[in-house]
Structure 1
Amino acid sequence: MRLVIFDVDGTLVDSQADILASMAAAFASAGLTVPSDDAVKGIVGLSLPVAMAQLAPLVEAATQDAMVVAYKASYNALRTANGEKGSPLYPGARAALERLRADPGVTLAVATGKSRRGLNGLFESHGLHDLFATSHVADDHPSKPDPAMVLACLRDTGIAAADAVIIGDTEFDIAMGHAAGIKAIGVRWGYHPDARLAAADVLIDSFDALDAALAEIWGQG
């Protein structure tokens, strides 16, 4: 049995519009200048308190906490208003997930910096709940690149690290996977540039290349 663990934001869905708008709302709530789009996209994947501390390092902790609350309120409002249109699946994502799910030798999982509420909302809007055997979120684990979420996926499924791979768009995903002893596939359509994905075992440009990348990872091609 093989385990394929997916990141979400920047890997399965393009949620940058809602992320950027919500971060702008968070900084505005504290009367602070909004970081650049590149700066915000650079922290996608981190748990929100960690991300906020990186974007506003000189702000006191209580204000950072309030900004996290403001971000969540904005993001949830946008998700409710926009549904799947606010975080559309990348081209080929659904077909790739369904193809892998149909393989009796493959189990799918999620490891994401999103909250459980955010992930459930995304699953509901896209009808993805039934595709994944397990999922782990920032509510219950240390922030990426700590390996806790990947290790939990391995425990839940009983699949060995040698038979698992993580797919993500950020250096945090790759580092998390490697820290847990699994291979990592980096995707080029997300939020980190190639220079930050250099540690990936394989890089791909589209979901069309995923099957070949998995075969390469597992020595089947």
Structure 2
Amino acid sequence: MKSILFDLDGTIIDPKIGILKSIQYALEKLGAAVPGIEDLRWCIGPSLRVSFPKLLGIEDKATIEEAVRLYRERFKPTGLYEYEPYPGAMDGLAALASEYRLFLATAKPQVYAAEILRHMGAIDHFEKVYGDDMEGTFTDKGDLLAFILEEQGLAANSCVMIGDRHHDIQAATRHGMPSVAVSYGYALDGEFDDHPPTAISHGFHDLSDRIGEILAA
């Protein structure tokens, strides 16, 4: 059975409110400038340890770790649950799980990702939930995919990576894995120009067709 690796934020769920309000909370606690919600949209997808140095204009590791800690201070009890599944996500995941092995591959800490899937009632569709640890071991999504491929004994060309940001597509390309970029997530204009996906999906209504076309090729 072939395998599908899913990103979470911007692909299965819209996490905008929970993530961005938690970033604002951390910046305010640090006494830094606090951009508006819409100006922070680019922060959905990358690791916090990638976003906070850009937001703060510094590379000091202790300050970045404090920003991450403050973010989690709000996100764990509140922001974690401030999300909306994308239209068709629940039925789409159930249908795909009947045909393929599903794995989650997210930059979000694994414990948070698993709780979100449990909360939305989708965790049973996934064979395993993979994400970062609290220390940031898998800040690079390509490293996370390498770990999944090795642990599961998967061949990259028998898998498809589904995601909404260039980090997802670049990670798949690094391993020779085909990919589908979803058009409804948080990619910026032109984001995929340098690393085009194998296919583009406009929602769960056509995702199964795009996956089937790739794996049948």
Q: What TM-score do the two structures reach when normalised by structure 1?
A: 0.88
1:151 to 146, 159, 181: 146
2:113 to 93, 98, 119: 119
Which residue does 1:99 correspond to in 2? 95
1:214 aligns with 2:208: no
SS in structure 1 of the partner of residue 212 of structure 2: helix
Deviation at 1:195, TM superposition (A): 1.3
Q: Cα deviations across residues 55-98 of structure 1 (Å, max 9, x unaligned)?
A: 22236332222111110111112146xx3xx2111001111110
Q: Which runs of 4+ in 1 moved over 4 A?
A: none
Cα contact 2:17–2:79 (8 A) shared by 1: no
Listed as ranges, the matches of 1:55-94 within 5 Å are: 55-58=55-58, 60-79=60-79, 83=81, 86-94=82-90
Deviation at 1:194, TM superposition (A): 4.6
Percent sequence identity is 26
Deviation at 1:218, TM superposition (A): 1.6
Q: Gaps spanning 5+ residues in structure 1: where?
A: none
Taking structure 1 as reference, are residues 153 and 200 closer, same or farther at Cα in structure 2, changes over 3 Å only? same
Which residue does 2:25 correspond to in 1? 25
Q: Cα deviations across residues 190-215 of structure 1 (Å, max 9, x unaligned)?
A: 11135113311111111111111112
Q: Gaps spanning 5+ residues in structure 2: where?
A: none
Listed as ranges, the matches of 1:163-178 within 5 Å are: 163-178=158-173
Distance 1:171 1:119 in 2: 20
Amino acid at match of 1:76: K
Amino acid at match of 2:124: D
Cα contact 1:40–1:55 (8 A) shared by 2: no
Distance 2:4 2:56 in 1: 34
Cα contact 2:183–2:201 (8 A) shared by 1: yes
Distance 2:20 2:75 in 1: 10
Deviation at 1:129, TM superposition (A): 2.1
